Amino acid sequence: MPYENLTTFFGKPVEDFQNGMEAWDFERAVPRFRVAYDSEDSVPAMLGSYAALPGAEATDALVIGYWQGDDSEGTSQAVVEALVSYAERFPNLRALFLGDIVSEENEISWINQSDLSALWPAFPQLEHMQVRGATGLALGRFEAPRLTALIVESGGLPRRVVGEALAAGAPELRHLELWLGTDEYGGDSTPADFADLFDGRLFPKLNTLALRDCAYADDLAAAVAAAPVLERVSTLDLSLGNLTDAGAEALIASPAVAKLSRLDLHHHFLTEATMTRLAALGPAVDLSEQQEPDEYAGEIYRNIAVSE
Amino acid sequence: MTGAGDSLTGIAPCVILGVAGDERTEGFSAALVRAGHPPAPVLDYGRFIEAPDRLSALFPEGRGLLRIDSPGGDPGIRRALLRLGGEDDAEDAGGATRLRPDHGLQRGLTAALQLARRVVPPGVALTHEAETVALFYDKRACHAAMAAHGLPVPRALPPAGSFDALVEAMRAAGLTRVFVKPRFGSGAAGIAALTVARDGIVADSAAEHVPGAGPGVLHHSHRLRRYRGAEAVALIDTILAQDAHVEQWVPKAALDGGPCDLRVLVVDGEPAHSVLRKARGPITNLDLGGRRGEADALRALAPPAVWEAMRADCRRFARLFPQPFHVALDVALTVGLRRHVFFEANAFGDLIRRVRHEGLDPYEWQVARLPGWIAARRPVGLAA
């Protein structure tokens, strides 16, 4: 579903860095590194050029775009290695987006990620970590003392990666966002995988809980609606999934949900009557993008927003 | 339009070889009338092929303009063109939506236009010549011609006869995503946007196999759908078996949440009407769900130098292929908005609805530009 590249990131405009640039306004813009369709460049080489610029140590945010180039099997591994090798030039890096790739470049489930373990010790100042694509992805077991936002966008998030995210040593984490996706693309998590999180044993400062693009949204809603973690968060985001009235009933019945300040359910399969009740619940509720089920060969399909 | 008297002598009589009563011929004729000219008689391709003298009889004074228009999709005209191109009628079974290797149609259209050139008096200007129409209609040849002239185009892959051969070629080129286009044809009929990744194969296309029609037969469903795995392989195999042009899938810049490209109508060498085509997926054609937009919306996003470079290349294209009075170019700005890339050239792409250039619709604009175009091309001595 991501159709458009970032225009801003970490509070600044995003601009493409191009090989040959001899200067960069580090205060003004966040550089994005990506290869064009006919380019001989590579993202690691561009990172090297950027890292060599005088003043590069002021960099606080980096965006990595399409890296594949002519290597059709190209994973993010070479990019990760390059980032780690230039880590000394980026001592103040606070935000990283690895995979600002739109569907015209590559569908989210075809993005070949890699093991990101080495990034965490290399960039201890990281506050915002965002990854698109879960194929081949590993977060590793990691400590991220300053991390406040962890976002993994995918069309199918393996429970192994869910487990890595939830095991993070991230005491400052405020925003946890996981796109769970479908089992057709490796999304094999279940509500039970979130038991520790829902019980409130993780991330004491959590403020936004976003479990999006979920193919078992009703079960997830039921599991989270009565969970102690809701006493802690002010925003619950179950958007992009296949929520129906069954899941909504659990949300409506929950006193903790009524006390949220925001409830994001956009892209859903709710009926009008249920939408009306949700809207009156208390939080600001996003009920946009109501979906109609597809019928194919006598079967009803309620598709999540992002799978391929 | 000023100087109607002069221009009238320049383009009268104006005759259309096309499809009587269709939106194109009606639109052009109406534009003539609005500019103070008489309406253009329309000679149907079928009736022309039946008796070519019907065309020469429309130019009793030996001068004027013959506007060549699209033969459209009418089955009768199609059969007449195929016969003229030396194809046997039997090939043409399967109804209007069937996708065919349309080399025969191209040959027929080329023969018809050559015939038209021969039968009309030498003082008559034709808006198109057979060779250029044939070139634009052959996607592989047109791509090669653009590439040879240094116009930016996607990388082409060598012809492949099967899915397996294509995958080999993609691997050799380091590509995971390509467009597979029937070599002959227009519009998005039969086109597939193909991804071959480590874990799967996906193709978006409006072509479909129809139950009972046989494995080698595809129909144009006018509706995009996504094929996966074996279904995608079967689809691509069938398109390739009918001869296809394959090129790199160049990521198009996005606008309003989806990829977009432009149809730019170049008239008499100058870019005139453009329409933006916005889609949710890789195929932007308006008849397949692409939404129209204002070209200026993309222009506003792009660096001015990038936009101007695109327009300069549209002009350069027109200079390289000067015969047609107009050509419609499909061109995109790529992700990042730093370059442009040409996909196709359309000889009959001037039916662009609800877009005005300097206050005129595409037909009115052409009527206004025709006298100058004719004057510039007419060899000395042939002036009326």
In this structure, are B114 and B92 located in the same domain? yes
The one-letter code for the residue type at B334 is T
- A79-93, B26-40, B85-99: least confident range: B85-99
A217 neighbors A245 (Cβ within 8 angstroms) = no
From B226, B248, B270, give the residue that closes a domain.
B248
Specify the pairing of strand B291-293 against strand B254-255.
Answer: unpaired
Q: Is residue B56 one of the residues assigned to a domain? A: yes
Q: Is residue B51 one of the residues assigned to a domain? A: yes
In this structure, are B316 and B205 located in the same domain? no
User: Which positions in chain B have a beta carbon within 8 angstroms of at least one beta carbon in chain A?
Assistant: 152, 154-155, 170-171, 173-177, 195, 197-200, 202, 226, 248, 250-252, 254, 257-259, 280-282, 334-336, 338-339, 341
Q: Is residue B194 one of the residues assigned to a domain? A: yes
Q: Between helices B103-119 and B75-84, what is the axis angle to 10°?
A: 80
Nearest CA in chain A to B170: A72
pLDDT digits (tens, 9 = 90+) for B307-345: 999 999 999 999 998 678 999 999 999 998 999 999 999
**How many whole angstroms separate alpha carbon B234 and alpha carbon B229?**
9
User: Which positions in chain A have a beta carbon within 8 angstroms of at least one beta carbon in chain B?
Assistant: 3-5, 16, 34, 36-38, 66, 68-73, 102-107, 109-110, 112, 135, 308
From B216, B248, B280, give the residue that closes a domain.
B248
In this structure, are B244 and B256 located in the same domain? no
Nearest CA in chain A to B155: A38
The pTM (predicted TM-score) of the whole model is 0.87
Residue B281's pLDDT is what?
Answer: 87
Residue B379's pLDDT is what?
Answer: 52
Cβ contact (<8 Å) for A110 and B176?
A: yes
In this structure, are B185 and B291 located in the same domain? no
B264 neighbors B271 (Cβ within 8 angstroms) = yes
Confidence class for position B4, pLDDT limits 50, 70, 90: very low
Q: Is residue B61 one of the residues assigned to a domain? A: yes
pLDDT digits (tens, 9 = 90+) for A157-197: 999 999 999 999 999 999 999 999 999 999 999 999 999 99
Q: Is residue B320 one of the residues assigned to a domain? A: yes
Query: With 70 as the cut, is the pLDDT of residue B94 above it?
Result: no
What mean pLDDT is predicted for residues B204-209? 90
Nearest CB partner across the interface for A105, out of B152, B171, B251: B251
Q: Is residue B14 one of the residues assigned to a domain? A: yes
In this structure, are B241 and B265 located in the same domain? no
In this structure, are B57 and B120 located in the same domain? yes
Q: Which of B231, B232, B245 is nearest to B185 (CA)?
A: B245
Q: In a mutagenesis test of the B interface, which of A18, A37, A107 is the best target, namely the one with the most B β-carbons within 10 Å?
A: A37
Give this complex's ipTM.
0.81
Q: Is residue B124 one of the residues assigned to a domain? A: yes
Cβ contact (<8 Å) for A72 and B174?
A: yes
What mean pLDDT is predicted for residues B32-36? 94
In this structure, are B291 and B341 located in the same domain? yes
From B248, B263, B298, give the residue that closes a domain.
B248
Q: Which residue has the higher pLDDT, B218 or B115?
A: B115
Domain boundaries, chain A: 139-308
pLDDT digits (tens, 9 = 90+) for B276-319: 999 988 999 888 888 999 999 999 999 999 999 999 999 999 99
Q: Which residue has tokens 């469903």?
A: B221
Bridge partners for B178 per DSSP: B194, B248
Specify the pairing of strand A149-153 against strand A175-181.
Answer: parallel
Query: With 90 as the cut, is the pLDDT of residue B73 above it?
Result: no
Instruction: Give me B288's structure tokens.
Output: 């397949």
Interchain CB contacts (distance < 8 Å): A and B: 75
CATH number of A139-308: 3.80.10.10
Confidence class for position B378, pLDDT limits 50, 70, 90: low
Residue B92's pLDDT is what?
Answer: 54
- The most distant pair of C-alpha atoms in chain A lies apart, rounded to whole Å, by 64
**Smallest CA–CA separation between A239 and chain B, in Å?**
18
In this structure, are B336 and B368 located in the same domain? no
In this structure, are B13 and B100 located in the same domain? yes
Q: Is residue B337 one of the residues assigned to a domain? A: yes
Nearest CA in chain A to B339: A36
**First and final CA of chain B: distance in angstroms?**
21
In this structure, are B186 and B279 located in the same domain? no
Confidence class for position B382, pLDDT limits 50, 70, 90: very low
B176 neighbors B195 (Cβ within 8 angstroms) = yes
Burial of A130 (0-12, 13-18, 19+ CB in 10 A): buried
Residue B374's pLDDT is what?
Answer: 87
Q: Which of A214, A181, A215, A12 is nearest to A111 (CA)?
A: A181
Q: Which residue has the higher pLDDT, A204 or B258?
A: A204
Residue numbers of chain A with a pLDDT score lower than 50: none
Nearest CA in chain B to A32: B336
Q: What is the number of other CB atoms lying within 10 angstroms of the CB of residue B3? A: 9
Residues B145-148: contacts with CB under 8 Å, at least 24 apart: B145/B320, B145/B321, B146/B317, B146/B342, B146/B345
Q: Which residue has the higher pLDDT, B64 or B92?
A: B64
Nearest CB partner across the interface for B175, out of A16, A72, A104: A72
Confidence class for position B11, pLDDT limits 50, 70, 90: confident
Cβ contact (<8 Å) for B171 and A72?
A: yes
Q: What is the number of other CB atoms lying within 10 angstroms of the CB of residue A140? A: 14
Confidence class for position B5, pLDDT limits 50, 70, 90: very low
Residue B212's pLDDT is what?
Answer: 77
Q: Which residues of A touch B341 (CB under 8 A)?
A: 37
- How many domains does chain B fold into? 3
**DSSP state, A87?**
G
- The most distant pair of C-alpha atoms in chain B lies apart, rounded to whole Å, by 68
Domain that holds residue B321: 252-346
